[in-house]
Structure 1
Amino acid sequence: MKKKIAVIGSGFSGLSAASYLSKYGFEVHVFEKNTEVGGRARKFTTDNGYTFDMGPSWYWMPDIIEDFFQDFGSKTSDFYELISLNPQFEMIFSDDIMNVPENYGEMKDLFESIEKGAGNRLEEFMKDAAAKYEIGMKEFVVKPCHSWIEFISPKIAKNALKLDLLTNFSRFVRKYFQHPKLIILMEFPVIFLGAAPKDIPALYSLMNYGGYRLGTWYPMGGFSKVTEAMMSIAIRNSVKFNFDSNVEKINVFDGRAQSLTINGTEQYFDFIIASSDYHHTEQHLLDKKYRNYNFDYWEKKILAPSCLIYYLGFKKKISNLKHHTLFFENDLYEHTNDIYKEKKWPSKPLFYVCCSSKTDKSMAPENCENVFLLMPVAPGLEDSEEVREDYFKQMIERLEKHTGETELSSYIDYKRSYCINDFQTDYNAYKGNAYGLANTLSQTAVLKPAIRNKKIKNLLYTGQLTVPGPGVPPSIISGKIVANEVKKYFKYEKTL
């Protein structure tokens, strides 16, 4: 008789775990508190025809995502069309505009035009980053991280120094580049890892390779096409999905999670995977004596940012706007200091604009645009409509200045804000975080919250608050890691 597995949550890690577990022969049931699949990668469509991806919009590390589908005998192209963006994105400075080209040769030329010798140094940087990517994404991040012993392998040992775990990312970038604009361009990808570049290990130059070198892509129909495709894989493997299903309690007896209370009804399982927010799972679904960590532990953790998002529909085409645009007219380090050190609303914010209707006409009505404004903020702040609107006005004014479009607000056909309070309500996100746990050195690998509950034999955690960390590819890998741990558990159990 098949062992019955429950997966709490249908974000990337939950979908990944469910798919692999079903492939391994388990009976898998996914419970999602919201009405659709995807977790933070949900989408919504308005009554007047705008479609918005609610979360991820940067399709980087395409090979890692492809690996998931190949594990099930499929390809991403079986489910959606990928478009390589050119330019990859646009970066707005106070005195200049930089378009990052799709073609790597053109990117080297761009670097050379800004700083003499920087084109060749970019090649050196990317060679180093490629090695880190190969080791980091194929060897380092796939470990369950129960113990440092896991990392004693010939390949990791041979390349340990190349991983640069003890060098900070900011110092590493400055080994290659001196021009402030190139430094910012190279440092910005790690902001969403949850700390300032000076507090992130140089290992994460692998993100520059996974983005700039492998390209910035867009799945036609929106990022939700990825979660829908993963759900199709899961259903093909007989996974059962249950929506509007709020898990209220993990019921434990004799050291084992026996059942879940879901919408007031108890259901029994042989094993439970919590793809839900780790903090919420422990502090609200488990009795105190079964928790890995207490309140003080979580208070000391360094979280990646939350964000203020505005979903906007404009009843006009907006000129001079690319698919991805980064507004970096203000100081990067002042904004990151406000997030990570001062933990306050930013005084001079940076922000990001996504206008996917520039690439995909299906995302907005004819002659209209869907626009997504995102401003990183510290988690745990007091969130109010008044504060949101103040920053909205600042972002719209800067968008108008850049595009040359006046009175953009008068063309708004749809408007919705989303911030800390919404992340808490929709995802039970600890302090309203948007991206999980920061990838600082003190929160890397074994030093992250454990995937295994230390007091309950048949409960594992997955997702962005545990290994390997935040982001779409790491979350997919996280789901695979826990699925393999379940497989090993039952193989071990049979030998008892």
Structure 2
Amino acid sequence: MTGGRRAVVIGAGVAGLSTAGLLARRGYEVTLLERGTAVGGRAGSLTIADAPGFRWDTGPSWYLMPEAFDRFFSLMGTSTEEQLDLSELSPGYRLLPEGLDPVDVPVGADAVAELFETLEPGAGEEVRRYLAEAGDTYRIAVDRFLYTDFTSPAPFLGLGVARRAVRLIRLLAGSLESLVNRRFQDRRLRQILSYPAVFLSSRPSQTPALYQLMSFTDLVQGVKYPSGGFAAVVESLRRLAVGHGVSIRTGTEVTAIVTDRARANPFRQIPGVGRATAHLSAARAQGVTVRTSDGTVSGTGEEFIPADVVVSAADLHHTETGLLPAGLQTYPERRWRRADPGVGAVVVMLGVKGELPELAHHTLIFSEDWTPDFAAVFDTLPGGAGQKASRSVYVSRTSATDPDVAPDGHENLFVLVPVTCDPSMDTSAVDAIADATLDMIAQRAGVPDLVDRVVVRRTLGPADFAERYNSWRGWALGLAHTLTQSAFMRGTNRSRAVSNLYYAGSTTTPGVGVPMCLISAENAVTRISRSGGPSRDSARSGRDRR
């Protein structure tokens, strides 16, 4: 172990593992603390003793933005090729639109244009223009807006941004739904280009049109699958972190972030005081207190783990309101009353006897009018009556690509049903949603005996997300990517009250999704490095240390 400064990272999901690995590579002595019994967080893995041969990813399943993975692995002194075995999916996914024939959605601008033209005359050339614009927006976002903490205006001052300023402002001010609907008339085409909003924990009518860039990632860059699923991604992150000296403690719950004071210094509130001076007057984290999952504690009742830097990759609401005193909260409870929690989810994991060629590796099932679907998810109050689940759902038949996730003669299905964020949703409500969804899948896919062929079934609901991950309101992903919750308005990756406390993960900047978590880890570590501390080129054989 190096003699560098000590860092504690809270939460061993994708962001926590990535942050810990990057810090260790820069010379920190890192302790990574995880409340659960395994690493991965929302990117978890499930096996069942009485269902041998089945394995499910319990969270992320779309491998998008490959350059985010490439960049992270390069920072860790390795490469994606060394770490993961990737397969290209063809088709990228299948669409099962209500009342219409299935549509296989290809990859590549030419193939997509050909498909669009067959469904709507003139849409082929229009989608070429749309995807070219989406690609340009994507490159600007990657080059200027994602790998930044918005503490400097420099990302906005480049010539490339200036030339696109008017268009970017229009994209931020307008909605994805309006942008798509103006340019395409066919319902299927609108849904293909609008549905990525759900993967941003939002709905098309509230998602800035800037996020048209999502269509570039799946329709042009393509959809890949890492052999072993996202469990293989998590294992790679774990292996790299440990190889660089990170100490991972599972079954260890952080109960408080300990600081040198209970409240922020009022001096930092004086108008005109510079940022650096303000941080010097802020509180400082001294470490964290923990307890183990079996309820035991060491010493006199609490174990204290000292640290020079603390990074929380846990749910931001929990970090701010559960681990810090009221006087040191950058985001106090009153701030959260105005926040849009985004999408909740009911996850259904199935083992099915026999083959299901009617479903692709990725299948999207859309209702004819999905307005009620979004209303059920975003407009229903927790605990309220009425429809709480969407009838537009996502199905992953992982066994279409990976034979190791199901025994011979069986299929592995992962079903994601968007629901309202409501941790009061009990098991009977989750089961009712799962039952109705399976009936719908059977009807829409043309597999009338689907339910009868299910040999194993497990579910997760908002209450599970709340309990397992301390998710605010049981959210599945994180804050919705609405206008006021995007880019610099989404928040900060550094506490304004505790100078050496930082944030990473899907509930902070830059946003939701595995690539965003990798980026958030790099951004947090970059900001820590700017504040001082060891930073060494670990080209030496740090990966081989044990």
State the TM-score, normalizing by the size of structure 2.
0.87
Question: What residue in structure 2 maps to residue 199 of structure 1?
Answer: 206
- Does structure 1 conserve the Cα–Cα contact (< 8 Å) formed by 2:144 and 2:155? no
2:166 corresponds, among 161, 167, 172, to 161
State the SS of the aligned residue for 2:531: helix
How far apart are 1:167 and its partner, in Å? 2.1
Specify whether residues 380 and 401 from structure 1 end up closer, same or farther in structure 2 by C-alpha distance, changes over 3 A only: closer
Alignment of 1:22-61 (within 5 A): 22-47=24-49, 48-61=52-65
State the SS of the aligned residue for 2:238: helix
Q: Does 386-395 or 401-410 show the bigger shift?
A: 401-410
Alignment of 1:167-182 (within 5 A): 167-182=174-189
| Residue 247 (1) aligns with residue 269 (2) | no
- Does structure 1 conserve the Cα–Cα contact (< 8 Å) formed by 2:4 and 2:27? yes
Specify whether residues 216 and 22 from structure 1 end up closer, same or farther in structure 2 by C-alpha distance, changes over 3 A only: same
How far apart are 1:453 and its partner, in Å? 1.1
Alignment of 1:9-408 (within 5 A): 9-47=11-49, 48-96=52-100, 97-146=102-151, 151-163=156-168, 164-254=171-261, 255-263=283-291, 264-343=302-381, 345-346=387-388, 349-380=391-422, 382-408=424-450
Matching residue's letter, 2:501: L
How far apart are 1:172 and its partner, in Å? 1.5
User: Any idea what the Cα deviations from partners look like across 1:409-454, whole Å, max 9, x if unmatched?
Assistant: 3332211110100001110000010110111111122222321111
State the SS of the aligned residue for 1:434: coil
Q: Which runs of 5+ in 2 are unaligned?
A: 262-282, 292-301, 535-546
Q: Does 110-119 or 397-406 show the bigger shift?
A: 397-406
Alpha-carbon distance in 1 for matches of 2:334, 2:116: 46
Alignment of 1:421-460 (within 5 A): 421-460=463-502
Alpha-carbon distance in 2 for matches of 1:410, 1:258: 57
Matching residue's letter, 2:80: T
Q: Does 269-278 or 178-187 show the bigger shift?
A: 178-187
- Does structure 2 conserve the Cα–Cα contact (< 8 Å) formed by 1:192 and 1:304? no
Count, aligned residues: 493
Matching residue's letter, 1:223: F
How far apart are 1:150 and its partner, in Å? 5.3
Q: State the identity %.
A: 30
How far apart are 1:184 and its partner, in Å? 0.9
User: Any idea what the Cα deviations from partners look like across 1:129-167, whole Å, max 9, x if unmatched?
Assistant: 111111102211111123656533443333323332222
* RMSD after superposition: 1.9
Matching residue's letter, 2:92: Q
User: Any idea what the Cα deviations from partners look like across 1:358-396, whole Å, max 9, x if unmatched?
Assistant: 111100011011111110112135311221122222112
Matching residue's letter, 2:48: T
In the TM superposition, structure 1's runs of 4+ consecutive aligned residues that sit over 6 Å from their partners are: none
State the SS of the aligned residue for 1:40: coil
Alpha-carbon distance in 2 for matches of 1:348, 1:463: 26
- Does structure 1 conserve the Cα–Cα contact (< 8 Å) formed by 2:5 and 2:533? no
Alpha-carbon distance in 2 for matches of 1:272, 1:347: 38
- Does structure 1 conserve the Cα–Cα contact (< 8 Å) formed by 2:108 and 2:219? no
- Does structure 1 conserve the Cα–Cα contact (< 8 Å) formed by 2:389 and 2:420? no
Question: What residue in structure 1 maps to residue 459 of structure 2?
Answer: 417
Alpha-carbon distance in 1 for matches of 2:227, 2:322: 38
Alpha-carbon distance in 1 for matches of 2:407, 2:163: 55
Q: Which runs of 5+ in 1 are unaligned?
A: none
Q: Does 331-340 or 106-115 show the bigger shift?
A: 331-340
Specify whether residues 208 and 318 from structure 1 end up closer, same or farther in structure 2 by C-alpha distance, changes over 3 A only: same
User: Any idea what the Cα deviations from partners look like across 1:255-303, whole Å, max 9, x if unmatched?
Assistant: 2111211113111011100000010011111111111122121111012
Matching residue's letter, 1:357: S
Matching residue's letter, 1:224: A
How far apart are 1:326 and its partner, in Å? 1.1
- Does structure 2 conserve the Cα–Cα contact (< 8 Å) formed by 1:271 and 1:458? yes
Specify whether residues 347 and 375 from structure 1 end up closer, same or farther in structure 2 by C-alpha distance, changes over 3 A only: closer
